Amino acid sequence: MTVPTLRSVAALKAAGLVSDALAPKLAAVEAAYAIALPEPLARAINRSNRNDAISRQFVPSPEELDIRAGESGDPIGDARHSPVPGLVHRYPDRVLIKATSTCPVYCRFCFRREMVGPEKGEALTKADLEAIFAYVSAHPEIFEVILTGGDPLMLSAARAREITQRLEAFVHVKVIRWHTRMPVTRPDRITPAYGEALASRKTAVFLAVHANHASEFTADAIAACRLLAGKGIALVSQSVLLRGVNDTVEDLSDLMRAFLSVGIKPYYLHQLDAAPGTSHFRVPVEEGQRLVRALRDTLSGLAVPHYVLDIPGGVSKASLALSDVEQRGDTWAVRGRDGGIYPLMD
């Protein structure tokens, strides 16, 4: 099934998502960064609220032309850790394969926004993949392989199955992980055949679903997630803390409960990476810490994600969460959800 996708400012204007006054101001944004918004997702936007959580994530804004000091086209240092084209080896026991540069929808805050889009090429070539598989084969310390992009589920089911089969043949690769927005942005692509393509009887398969607001979980998205879980694929979440999208305790709580209610274990809540033109989405770390502490005080432990930052340059991830443990002189104390401080016996 072909789902129409809005791919230009003119198309967004025709759909009523961009005003006549705003459209001319977006020409430079359109020239710089890819646009794609599937019509089913566009229909979910609350047109009475220009700051609707879905609209804000996917409809371009003139604020994207505001480039700040410290922002970078490669904010997490992919390039310096790429020994083979299309592969990133940042941590000793795992590698990341950028399987394709295209996405079903282009997020306005994407940390790879200067690396993705139709003009960047559709996918890795067969020769690229063979070089990557040779690298994985030659490095027995690689325990986990992560498929990303772009969105790796833009690949055909046949191509996804081929990648699964090649990776599960390496005895040292015990985990295959796919990072995708597809279940919430194009759930129609999550078919039983695609689920079979991702599943493995030899290797643990995880799929990280990227969503940032509970409203992304339509009935079709929920069905897509449950289909994947039914194929034995473990589902985890990843989200980005975004101003005007999920920067309240209520919105974050609703999002984490939405994940959990469809069998997705909340995993990562990312502090926004410093990609060009994304400062209008940035939530200060101190505010993020307060929000995550409030989540810990109000939600089940199953529903609380790790609040993390990718240190610029590709050093590593760092936890940003406030600790409930503090040292007082020669003793330790812990904070309770009631705000009280209690001595810790050791």
Total number of domains in the chain: 1
Annotated catalytic residue: which of 94, 174, 296, 335?
94
CATH assignment of the domain containing 128? 3.20.20.70
Q: Which range of residues forms the domain containing residue 50?
A: 5-326
> Is the distance from CB of 30 to CB of 39 less than 8 angstroms?
no
> Considering only 108-122, 142-156, 217-231, which range has the smallest mean pLDDT?
108-122
265 catalytic per annotation: no
Q: Calculate ∠ Cα 268-98-126, nearest 5°.
A: 150
Q: How far apart are CA 182 and CA 170, in angstroms?
A: 27
pLDDT band for position 329 (50/70/90)?
Answer: confident
225 catalytic per annotation: no
Q: Where are the alpha helices (DSSP H) in 284-325?
A: 285-298
pLDDT band for position 327 (50/70/90)?
Answer: confident
317 catalytic per annotation: yes
pLDDT band for position 121 (50/70/90)?
Answer: low
Q: Is there a domain that residue 322 lies in?
A: yes
Q: What pLDDT is attached to residue 15?
A: 94
| 64's tokens | 């994207």
Question: Using one digit for the tens of pLDDT, what is the confidence trace for 126-174?
Answer: 999 999 999 999 999 999 999 999 999 999 999 999 999 999 999 999 9
Q: Is there a domain that residue 339 lies in?
A: no
103 catalytic per annotation: yes
Q: Is there a domain that residue 336 lies in?
A: no
Q: What pLDDT is attached to residue 81?
A: 96
pLDDT band for position 2 (50/70/90)?
Answer: confident
Question: Using one digit for the tens of pLDDT, what is the confidence trace for 247-263?
Answer: 999 999 999 999 999 99
DSSP class of residue 162 equals: H
Q: Is there a domain that residue 331 lies in?
A: no
> Is the distance from CB of 199 to CB of 231 less than 8 angstroms?
yes
91 catalytic per annotation: yes
pLDDT at 99 over 70: yes
pTM of the full predicted structure?
Answer: 0.95
Q: To the nearest 10°, the Cα dihedral for 88, 94, 96, 97?
A: 100
Annotated catalytic residue: which of 52, 56, 103, 243?
103
Sheet of 341-344: strands edge to edge? 325-328, 331-335, 341-344
Q: What pLDDT is attached to residue 154?
A: 96
107 catalytic per annotation: yes
pLDDT band for position 328 (50/70/90)?
Answer: confident
Q: Is there a domain that residue 346 lies in?
A: no
Question: Using one digit for the tens of pLDDT, what is the confidence trace for 34-81?
Answer: 999 999 899 888 776 766 999 999 999 999 999 999 999 999 999 999
Q: Is there a domain that residue 255 lies in?
A: yes
Annotated catalytic residue: which of 7, 25, 91, 231?
91
Percent of the chain scoring above 70 in pLDDT: 97
Q: What pLDDT is attached to residue 48?
A: 65
| 53's tokens | 């959580």
Exposed / middle / buried, residue 70 (Cβ in 10 Å: 0-12, 13-18, 19+): exposed
Q: Is there a domain that residue 30 lies in?
A: yes
273 catalytic per annotation: yes
> Is the distance from CB of 161 to CB of 196 less than 8 angstroms?
yes
Q: Is there a domain that residue 343 lies in?
A: no
Cβ neighbours, 10 Å, residue 340: 9
Q: What pLDDT is attached to residue 120?
A: 67
